[in-house]
Amino acid sequence: MQRFQFRLERVLEWQRKKLQIEESRLAACLELVQIVEGKIAWLQADRSAIEADLLQRSAIPAADFLNLGRYRIRADKEELELAAERRQRLASADEQRARVLHAQRRVKLLEKLRERRRAEHAALEARELESVAAAAYLARWSQAQQRDRA
C-alpha cells in the first residue's frame, strides 16, 4: 500500500504562512495602539505635572495663567486627536483580528480534512492488510487440505 500523502499539503502550508503574516500584522496594529495609548498617558501626566507645579507656587503671575489656559486648550485638542487616532487604530486592529480568525478557520478546516483523509487511508490500509492476511490464511488452509487428501 502507498504511504499517506495529503494532496492539499502545499495549500495547507500556504494557508499557514498566510496566517502567520496576518498574525504579524495584528501584532503591528496592536503595537500602534500601545504607542498611541502611551502618548495619551504621557500627555495626561505632563498636563498634571505642569498644573501641579503652577499651583504649588506662592505667587502666580497673570502671564502664567494665560499660558496655562493656552496650554490646556492645545493639550485638549491634542488629546482629542490622539483619542481619534486610538479609535482608528483599534478599528484597524479589530479588522485585522477578523482576518486572523478567518485565516485560522481556513487552516483548521484543511487540518481536519487532512486528518479525515489520514483516517480513511489508515482504515483502507487495515482492510487491505486484513484481506492479505485472509488470503494467506486461506492459501495455507488450502495447502493443508491438499496435503491431508494426499
Tens of pLDDT, residue by residue over 37-96, are 999 999 999 999 998 988 888 888 888 889 889 999 999 999 999 999 999 999 999 999
Question: Is there a domain that residue 80 lies in?
Answer: yes
Question: Is there a domain that residue 148 lies in?
Answer: no
Kindly tell me if the per-residue pLDDT of 105 is higher than 90.
yes
Question: Is there a domain that residue 25 lies in?
Answer: yes
Question: Is there a domain that residue 144 lies in?
Answer: no
Question: Is there a domain that residue 126 lies in?
Answer: no
Q: What is the dihedral of CA 50, 52, 54, 58, to 10 degrees?
A: -160
- 137: amino acid identity, one letter: Y
Kindly tell me if the per-residue pLDDT of 150 is higher than 80.
no
Question: Is there a domain that residue 136 lies in?
Answer: no
pLDDT band at 14 (very low <50, low <70, confident <90, very high): very high
pTM of the model: 0.76
Question: Is there a domain that residue 150 lies in?
Answer: no
Please tell me the predicted confidence (pLDDT) of residue 123: 93
Please give the C-alpha separations between residue 74 and each of 52, 87, 103, 108, 110, in angstroms, as whole numbers: 18, 20, 43, 50, 54
Kindly tell me if the per-residue pLDDT of 25 is higher than 90.
yes
Counting the structural domains of the chain, the total is 1
From 24-28, 68-72, 110-114, the region with the lowest mean pLDDT: 68-72
Coil vs helix vs strand at 2: coil
Range of the structural domain that residue 74 is part of: 9-118
Q: What is the mean pLDDT of the chain?
A: 93
